[in-house]
Amino acid sequence: MPKPPQMVLLALAALAAGLLISPAAEGRARKAPCAKAKSKTLAQTRTVRVYEVDRGDDGTLYGCRKSTGRSIKLDTRSDDGFTTSDTYDRVQIFDNQVSWVSTVTERSCKADCPPGVGTPKVRIAVRNLKTRAFRSVPAAPLGDAVVLSTNGGVAWAAQGAAPGVVDIHASARGEEDRVIDSGNIDAKTLRIEITIISWTRDGAERFVRLR
């Protein structure tokens, strides 16, 4: 028996509504790659997200490749208010490489610390999110004067041995630390293009390949 015209119209309307709503509902149901509840993005590219999960005085740094959606723990932040403080900052991404500056301060001895104890220990850490390779090098960059290359090499500007002198350091593997230039250098001019680093000394631009 043929369906009444009104029932046919209602069925067609329901079908049309389903076609319009389904893609949106599906989009809402699909979780964004590298999404994490209660996380804060510190750096992000088209392929990688680096984020922090904050727990008040404590936090954890993660790196995630969007192609896999898998996160890797990179570092932790904590401060017990008495003996030890661990922090991280200056996060950078280049391809699958992530770098950040890690600072650990030991305060257990208070005012009676022997020489060197209680001084913040600063390192530049590098993690390849694809191969999971990790390394770090002792360094004390001036401000944000740190650059990362596509192969995981890093360069940074640091205070030199004399007032007004700035050194440019480079590290391509392990804890390698090479001083490649020193003098009247503007730390804020340190730049990188793939693996070529540049900076300004005495008003003139200089270039070196970071290997």
pLDDT values of the chain reduced to their tens digit, one per residue, 211 residues: 555 556 544 554 544 444 444 444 444 446 678 998 889 999 999 999 999 998 877 899 999 999 999 999 999 998 776 677 889 999 999 999 999 999 988 766 656 666 656 678 999 999 999 999 999 999 999 999 999 999 999 999 999 999 999 999 999 999 999 999 999 999 999 999 989 999 999 999 999 998 7
Domain of 121?
31-136
- 60 and 143 assigned to the same domain: no
Kindly report the CA angle at 141 between 140 and 144, in degrees rounded to 5?
150
- Say yes or no: 46 and 113 in one domain: yes
Q: Report if residue 13 sits inside a domain.
A: no
Rounded Cα distance, 143 and 156, in Å = 10
The pair of structure tokens assigned to 169 is: 């350091």
Whether 198 and 130 map to the same domain: the answer is no
Residue 143 sits in the same domain as residue 204: yes
Q: Is residue 36 part of a domain?
A: yes
* Amino acid residing at 26: E
Q: Say how far apart CA 148 and CA 142 lie, in whole Å.
A: 15
114 lies in the same domain as 180: no
Are 51 and 126 found together in one domain? yes
Whole-structure pTM value: 0.78
